[in-house]
Amino acid sequence: MVLILKDGTSDSNIMELVEYLDAYNVSVSVTKGEHTTILCLVGDTSSVSQESVQSFSFVEDIRRIQEPYKAANKKSHPEPTVVDINGVKIGGGNFQVIAGPCSVESEEQIIEVAKAVKASGATLMRGGAFKPRTSPYAFQGLRAEGIELLLEAKKETGMPIVTEIMSAAHLPLFDHVDVIQVGARNMQNFELLKVLGKQDKPILLKRGLANTIEEWLMSAEYIMSGGNKNIILCERGIRSFETATRNTLDLSAVTVLKEKTHLPVIVDPSHATGIVQYVEPLSLAAIAAGADGLIIEVHNNPQKALCDGPQSLTPEQFDNTMKKIKKLRRFMETEI
């Protein structure tokens, strides 16, 4: 970290700042130019609060040389993390497709969809039991009963299940859930992230609606610093000025993350676009961009879905999309 001081900063002010920085375990070197003085901080600067340093009125600018995330940083862990979900691996060349309805609605619905997506090649099943809805009057999910039904579908198909948590108070209900999803709206629910850091289950961490890649990685850092290193990042589109799609899929985030972190990255083209016919082309684009997997909404009767029908593929559409996904994956794995 480099601190640039304002022109004419007095020696006593420089000493005051150096003494303040003594409290942190960093070494400080002072370089005085003709007009400008700079302080270089070397060591682990992650606990140095930028805001407190900025509050010294004679500090002109602060430049971070190192990223503020450590555990998630590729520099500290160059090998890709492979998250193992009861034998289903994501990351480091292992590609998986998670599929299922937005919400669990009934036993018949979840089992029918689970069997269909498995037959098409999905290896993990999704389904919301606790639903984060904009309106309190909209369907809120079957909650505990929804998780029971997911467990039934797991028993029927053998597929591990992925479902969203909205409150740490619900954690006991997630005992037999294989992957806990943190939705976009909770990406910065730091108390929830801290609790999940103490779990030994993989966490699917979705990107917040208006969060930068660095903020997203700092949320992963919350979980990792608690001890849980099994995180899968999920790009699901961000808010932009564009209204033609529900969100704007930031595929560049996949390539940026591949450079910055060792954690696996998957893409959710369903919530990113909100429109069924865009799901397949963006699934293929995500694979080309280097994603480690996809999470796709599939419903056995999208017109009657209680949530997100317009973006849900029918099992037949999903089957066709999976054929193209497999073809593209094979092509990408082939040496040319």
Residues in the site for ligand PEP, rule: CB under 6 A? 102, 128, 132, 164, 183-185, 206, 236, 268, 271
Interface residues for Mn ion in 306-335 (CB under 5 A)?
Answer: 308
Binding of Mn ion at residue 166 (CB under 5 A)? no
Report the residue number, 5 or 293, with the smaller CB distance to ligand PEP. 293
Shortest reach from residue 207's CB to ligand PEP, in Å: 8
Q: Residues with Cβ < 8 Å from 110, sequence gap 6 or more?
A: 100, 101, 104, 127, 149, 150, 152, 153
Between the alpha carbon of residue 109 and those of residues 123, 142, 147, 149, 185, the distances in Å are: 18, 13, 14, 10, 26
Between the alpha carbon of residue 124 and those of residues 71, 277, 327, the distances in Å are: 26, 22, 19
Q: Kindly state the number of chain residues that form the binding site for Mn ion, as judged by CB under 5 A.
A: 2
Residue 118 binds which of ligand PEP, Mn ion, none (CB < 5-8 A, kind-dependent) = none
Residue whose CB is nearest to ligand PEP in the complex, by number = 183
Report the residue number, 48 or 130, with the smaller CB distance to ligand PEP. 130
Report the residue number, 1 or 267, with the smaller CB distance to ligand PEP. 267
- Cα–chain-centroid distance for residue 42? 30
Shortest reach from residue 35's CB to ligand PEP, in Å: 49
Interface residues for Mn ion in 94-133 (CB under 5 A)?
Answer: 102
Shortest reach from residue 279's CB to ligand PEP, in Å: 13
Whose tokens are 């990107």? That residue is 207
Report the residue number, 102 or 179, with the smaller CB distance to ligand PEP. 102
R_g over Cα of the chain: 23
Q: Under a CB-based contact definition with an 8 Å cutoff, are residues 253 and 295 in contact?
A: no
Shortest reach from residue 183's CB to ligand PEP, in Å: 3
Binding of Mn ion at residue 268 (CB under 5 A)? no
In 17-41, which positions are buried (b, 16+ CB within 10 angstroms) versus exposed (e)? beeebeebebebeeeeeeeebbbeb
Helix (H, G, I), strand (E, B) or coil at 267: strand
Stretch that binds Mn ion, among 74-82, 133-141, 188-196, 302-310 (CB under 5 A): 302-310
Shortest reach from residue 64's CB to Mn ion, in Å: 36
Residue 221 binds which of ligand PEP, Mn ion, none (CB < 5-8 A, kind-dependent) = none
Shortest reach from residue 32's CB to ligand PEP, in Å: 50
Rounded CA-CA distance 123/125 in Å is 7
Report the residue number, 67 or 105, with the smaller CB distance to ligand PEP. 105
Shortest reach from residue 286's CB to ligand PEP, in Å: 14
In terms of Cα–Cα distance, which of 85, 109, 115, 107 is closest to 177?
Answer: 85
Binding of Mn ion at residue 3 (CB under 5 A)? no
Report the residue number, 280 or 308, with the smaller CB distance to Mn ion. 308
Rounded CA-CA distance 218/215 in Å is 5
Query: Burial of 155 by CB count in 10 Å (0-12 exposed, 13-18 middle, 19+ buried)?
Result: exposed
CA dihedral 259, 208, 161, 322 (to 10 degrees): -60
Interface residues for Mn ion in 27-86 (CB under 5 A)?
Answer: none
Residue 206 binds which of Mn ion, ligand PEP, none (CB < 5-8 A, kind-dependent) = ligand PEP
* Interface with Mn ion (CB under 5 A): 102, 308
